[in-house]
Chains A and B, each alone.
Chain A
């Protein structure tokens, strides 16, 4: 069965997160925080959750490789490494106070150590094609030759704007999606974060017909169809995918951004 390989320490998976760091990411999202801040928050959170899921006693099981690529003024790795190594070396720890269940039906405020690997950045244009090319180079040149039978790589692109060169971005995205392991092709998911509070969200659409925005159709076209094996995972996080659904959310709210990242990384948990 395609996309059926189990991810484990002897058969690790890989996830590559591409973050748009163009200048427009400084614009506020629906809650006033900038889109860059939301992107960084969501990525830090999903990395944290993958680590927690990989924890065994005091150690983090090396169940997956993580790469975060930023694209804006530059295109390159923001952070990369096996998940256990990432756990030991965040950029810094932020101390937050969160309310947690106290076990007796109430809430208690506790200190929470939040590891920070990714900071918000916003500058310059949107070199999305180069980011896809970078992911291709990482996977084709490094990961796939060493892991030909692993669960297929997952690439999640977080963006808010039209690429510098849409045709080149589409070509690079298709080249990226042509890569595969024996268990299936690379999965490319796209999430478009919006500043527009009233824009309608399109989550995991199964057809481009309902997407009036040409940019939305562009992202739909470069998003992988969801494999049957992952439909249940999408439902678990609150999506309602129809047959033929693509891994794509347009005009995503901050909550939907986190949902897509949670869904996209579900195999690694």
Chain B
């Protein structure tokens, strides 16, 4: 082992601060950025999942975490492009694929997800990962995409930024790590290294923050980074919001994107940084939990380390368990009225007779409107809201009620006009400018209004206004 270049006899202390903020108008669970840190050896990583990609947030967290915790992957990436990094990435890809498939099997909108899964849609993420050899006083880093590694002197002097140095060089399709092998977009990682001296400060930033920092004059960039970082993370979202609005000469407003900023100081701490051991023990966000949407424990190797759940990062800046967005808990705003908003297919059985395809091909599917079908729809909705375990518990009690409702509906239906006996309305051939008008029945659109407590037709009792599930 070579001695440290500065003559030290003890390993360098490493202090770290990590901050994260989501896009304006969105929530913490929507943030596609990720960061992670590990101790043995010291590693930090920042990843930026592509917004429109498939399970990109999960892929970003998985990559960042595995870089820090999986020595084989880190070693391969840090030795790229000469190393077998693609092979080393294989287990991460398999873990992503298995986790995504597990989620899909339990998701309410399964068909949509299956389409994308079978289409081989991929998670896409950038990565900047740093490993520190504290004994030798060196660091090395891997770079994929436009998440940046900046180097500063402790006096604030700007030294370098890789892979992007020009703020105008960022674009919306950076190079990336892809969760599915064989993608044409797959690119070679780039590795760099340097001295980890007490005079060196590293800043890892996703593109919006990196671009914003690089838009300052070189002499002002360090101050801008430390100002954005702040001494605690409670106000980071607010500082980002100010940066997005700011109109400082020579520095355009920060792009409204997810933002992750990690500062690594060697030797003495900088304001806002904490010992790496503390960050790993107490500040890491909850891990990617692919099955947590229904309250189950995370699966696979992503299930460990829950004891290190964040105590410092504000909740809204932490990644929430997957699926958290489906159970809004906000007491106000859209989530509050969404909780009472169901999808409505308000055409009743008689209206079904108007279906063009029914008129041409087959009789109306009587099963569509049976009490059993209504009960199934109701169960689908409950399953969506509560998850399978609670549903199982509720089902035993609920079946009795449902059967009662079903029997009542059957009795009511038998007592009413038999709808199936009504022939479908003939499709009237008419000119392109329309047939003579028949009086139109105008009905309220209360499915949108009802969440606001507005009832446009309180006396009409329209059957299609009742929730379907």
Contact = CB atoms under 8 A, between A and B. Distances in A.
Contact of B112 (A91, A115, A125, A194): A115
Interface residues of B, number: 90
Contact of A89 (B26, B293, B381): B381
B1 interface: no
Contacts of B184: 103
Interface stretch (A58-66, A200-208, A232-240, A252-260): A58-66
Contacts, number: 282
Interface stretch (A3-11, A173-181, A221-229): A3-11
Contact of B447 (A72, A81, A125): A81
6 contacts: A22-B430, A56-B325, A57-B58, A89-B377, A124-B438, A134-B444
Nearest to A135: B445
Interface of A: 6-12, 21-24, 26-27, 34, 36-37, 48, 51-53, 55-62, 65, 67, 69, 71-82, 84-91, 93, 100, 103-104, 110-115, 117, 119-127, 130, 133-134, 137-138, 141-143, 145-146, 160-164, 194-196, 215
Given A56-B30, A88-B380, A125-B436, A137 B338 contact: no
Contacts of A89: 342-343, 345, 377, 380-381, 468-469
Given A52-B112, A113-B112, A125-B440, A215 B356 contact: no
Central interface residue in A104, A114, A120, by most chain B CB within 10 Å: A120
B357 interface: yes
Contacts of B26: 8-10, 61
Nearest to B52: A53
Given A53-B52, A65-B448, A78 B345 contact: yes
A55 to B, nearest CB: 7
B27 A24 contact: no
B437 A88 contact: no
Given A60-B109, A122-B356, A133 B431 contact: no
Nearest to A40: B356
Contact of A57 (B57, B111, B342): B57
Contact of B437 (A77, A81, A111, A127): A127
B155 interface: no
B454 A142 contact: yes
A137 B446 CA distance: 10
Nearest to A163: B434
B277 interface: no
A91 B345 contact: yes
A100 B110 CA distance: 19
Given A76-B445, A80-B447, A26 B434 contact: no
Contacts of A104: 182
Contacts of A123: 354, 425, 427-428
A67 B448 contact: yes
Contact of A88 (B108, B347, B355, B435): B108
Given A86-B343, A91-B345, A77 B447 contact: yes
A124 B435 contact: yes
Nearest to A193: B432
A30 to B, nearest CB: 12
Interface in B286-334: 293, 322-326, 328, 333-334
B176 interface: no
A133 to B, nearest CB: 7
Interface stretch (B9-17, B115-123, B235-243): B115-123
A10 B323 contact: no
**B-side binding surface: helix, strand, loop or mixed?**
loop
B338 A162 contact: no
B84 interface: no
Central interface residue in B325, B357, B440, by most chain A CB within 10 Å: B440
B437 A87 contact: no
A75 B24 contact: no
Nearest to B111: A113
B434 A138 contact: no
A36 B109 CA distance: 26
B346 interface: yes
Contacts of A51: 109, 112
A120 B30 contact: no
A52 B425 contact: no
Contacts of B431: 24, 161
Nearest to B327: A59
Interface string B446-468: 01110110101000000010001
B104 A141 contact: no
B356 A82 contact: no
Given A8-B24, A117-B345, A110 B433 contact: no
Nearest to A145: B452
A11 B355 CA distance: 36
Given A58-B55, A77-B448, 11 more contacts: A24-B434, A48-B112, A59-B323, A74-B442, A77-B464, A84-B326, A88-B384, A127-B440, A134-B442, A142-B448, A162-B433
B378 to A, nearest CB: 11
